[in-house]
Chain A
Amino acid sequence: QQQVKQSPQSLIVQKGGISIINCAYENTAFDYFPWYQQFPGKGPALLIAIRPDVSEKKEGRFTISFNKSAKQFSLHIMDSQPGDSATYFCAAGGSQGNLIFGKGTKLSVKP
């Protein structure tokens, strides 16, 4: 019940395209869903986060879509750029416990 399943493991997108990464969770007590971006040799950095009271949150080119009934959430990167090439981790957490991370998606944006 504590797992967060993330897909795909890797993703190749052309510059200007849309990158979509999906995550699914099981624990209905989770109420905080962040996405982290990690460049090689660096620690993860918080990119965007959502709480279950909204179905979508947008910050610049990054959008989280949240489907509470399906227990799924996804990250959309519009107009993907080579500088977006990184590993992306979804996570889920709640007031009773620590964040649980997905296994990560390695995104490559080709020029």
Chain B
Amino acid sequence: DAMVIQNPRYQVTQFGKPVTLSCSQTLNHNVMYWYQQKSSQAPKLLFHYYDKDFNNEADTPDNFQSRRPNTSFCFLDIRSPGLGDAAMYLCATSRDVGISGYTFGSGTRLTVV
């Protein structure tokens, strides 16, 4: 089945230690998104790639970076995780921006200790 796969499902990292979360898709969608979701809150868009074009949200901290080496993979890098970065990180894809449904992965639960 075509899908969005996030690895790992759970990630524990130390305060200040760089961490990378990964996302892969078999849908061949043009757009890949990274969302941060804290407990009982709506997903918050961090950035997205339309093909190779990177689009950062204005309020996304510099601590968060992303890479998309090819159509199928996208990575979220947190350079110096703080306690406030503990959250569920969701990857999503869509065929195009805004006009079609997003397919979400199951998320990576990040814990910062």
Interface majority SS (helix, strand, loop, mixed), chain B:
loop
Q: Is the CB of B101 within 8 A of A98?
A: no
Interface majority SS (helix, strand, loop, mixed), chain A:
strand
Q: Is the CB of A44 within 8 A of B98?
A: no
Q: Which of A42, A87, A101, A106 contacts B106 (CB under 8 A)?
A: A42
CB of B70 within 8 Å of the partner chain: no
Q: How far is the CA of A102 from the CA of B44 in the complex (A)?
A: 10
Question: How many residues does chain B have at the interface if contact means C-beta atoms less than 8 Å apart?
Answer: 24
Q: In A75-111, which residues have CB < 8 Å from any B CB?
A: 87, 89, 93-99, 101-104, 106
Q: Which 9 A-B pairs have the closest CB atoms?
A: A43-B104, A93-B98, A101-B42, A46-B101, A103-B42, A43-B107, A43-B106, A95-B99, A44-B104
Show 13 A/B contacts (Cβ-Cβ < 8 Å), sorted by A: A32-B98, A32-B100, A41-B106, A41-B109, A43-B4, A43-B90, A43-B105, A44-B102, A44-B104, A93-B97, A95-B99, A101-B42, A106-B40
